[in-house]
Amino acid sequence: MITKGVYPTMITPYNRDHSIDFGAVRAIVDFYVRRGCAGVFAVCQSSEMAYLSLRERSALCEAVVNAAKDKLTVVASGHVSADLEDQAEELRAMYDAGAQAVVLVSNRLADSGEDDGIWIGRLDALIEALPQQAVLGMYECPAPYKRLLTEKTLGRLAQSGRFAFIKDTCCDAAELRRRLGQLAGSGVKLFNANSATLLDSLRNGGSGFSGVMANFHPELYVWLCEHYGEQPETAEKLQALLTYMSFAESVCYPVCAKYHMDRDGVAMNILSRSADEARFNALSRSTVDQITRLEEMARELVNISI
């Protein structure tokens, strides 16, 4: 079952030889649990899934599932291939590894110049190739190109009866309201990836947050998701702080998130396969360090201690 709340887009820690640091993986999962998250989105773009072999993606998903146990809902993707048979294989691997929902990537179902009819045809074929009991999700992953769901494709997801999770990256409050209206009563839960539009999406029926910044201060997103209705003025103030702090994701991500998490006591290297950690310079470190001061202010605002 997909529960409402915060689903961080999990980063992948590495050892010095760039192999996956599974000890740090377990520590990250524990960090999410301690900060109140409802679930975790593993083997996604933040996890550098396009830079992991299928064996690594499967092992990573299994490690997260084992660490999460009954404490977090684990959704996972690993959907990177172009060939439909390869896509089915990698998605089945996430299911076999224990993910409670297997998340498809919208841009894998059609090239940028292909229409929704082609997209839906491939979606239906892929669904047929996956276990019938598998709960599915959809992710508007920005890479290799962003393919946003349309009214037609979103309708197909809802109509199929197979989908329970959407990671929305449209970053448009009006479009989010339209989508949430379309999904009402379908059983499909929409999780916003964008900090700036989060509060508005929650007020209009959104199920929570699944974004980069939940690797920095997930407890603040948890508070917003749980208390926005009963404390609207405080929620507005927290929303403003979260929006401002979210600019940190432009500072050599995911290296900046690894630096911040290590600074927060979750020991890991800042090595990356998708970004050059040498670009994470003194100014980058200073920027992230100053964000931690804003985090302290935000926690004081909502009376959270960690």
Backbone angles phi, psi at 227, to 5 degrees: -125, 5
Separation CA 77–CA 61 (nearest Å): 9
Tell me the pLDDT of the chain averaged across its residues. Answer: 98
| 231-287 pLDDT, tens digit each | 999 999 999 999 999 999 999 999 999 999 999 999 999 999 999 999 999 999 999
Considering only CA atoms, which of 2, 3, 6, 29 is closest in space to residue 224? 6
Please choose, from the candidates 145, 187, 186, 148, the residue with its C-alpha nearest in 3D space to the C-alpha of residue 167: 148
Q: How far apart are CA 61 and CA 41, in angstroms?
A: 10
Kindly indicate the confidence band of residue 1, based on its pLDDT and cuts at 50, 70 and 90.
confident
Centre a 10 Å sphere on the Cβ of residue 266 and count the other Cβ atoms it contains: 19
Query: How does residue 162 score in pLDDT terms, banded at 50, 70 and 90?
Result: very high
Active site residue 14: no
The residue to which tokens 């004081």 are assigned:
300
pTM, two decimal places:
0.98
Taking only the tens place, the pLDDT of each residue in 104-145 is: 999 999 999 999 999 999 999 999 999 999 999 999 999 999
Token pair, residue 270, equals 């800042």
Burial class for 136, CB neighbours closer than 10 Å (0-12, 13-18, 19+): buried
Local structure of residue 29 (DSSP, 8 states): H
Question: Up-side HSE of residue 152: CA atoms within 13 Å toward CB?
Answer: 8
Give 16-48 pLDDT, tens digit per residue.
999 999 999 999 999 999 999 999 999 999 999
Candidates 140, 124, 70, 144; CA nearest to 100 is 70
Cα–Cα nearest to 134, from 76, 199, 195, 56? 76
Tell me the sheet residues that pair with 9.
41
- Give the span between the Cα atoms of 119 and 11, in whole angstroms: 29
Query: Quick check: bond before 144 cis, omega within 30?
Result: yes
Residue 7 has pLDDT above 90, yes or no: yes
**Residue with token string 């911040």:** 260
Tokens linked to 6: 């915060």
Superfamily of the domain at 5-230: Aldolase class I (3.20.20.70)
For residue 279, give the DSSP letter. G
Active site residue 32: no
pLDDT at 61: 99
Instruction: Tell which residue, 43, 189, 33, has the closest CA to residue 103.
Output: 43
Contact predicate 83/118, CB 8 Å: no
pLDDT of 175 above 90: yes
pLDDT at 55: 99
Q: Which of 32, 167, 189, 221 is catalytic?
A: 167
Helices (H) and strands (E) in the chain, counts: 11, 8
Residue 170: what pLDDT?
99
- Tens-place pLDDT, residues 40-70: 999 999 999 999 999 999 999 999 999 999 9
Question: Which of the 8 DSSP states describes residue 43?
Answer: S
The proportion of the chain whose per-residue pLDDT surpasses 90, expressed as a percent, equals 99
The residue annotated as part of the active site, out of 7, 32, 139, 221, is 139
Give the C-alpha separation, 88 to 103, whole Å. Answer: 12
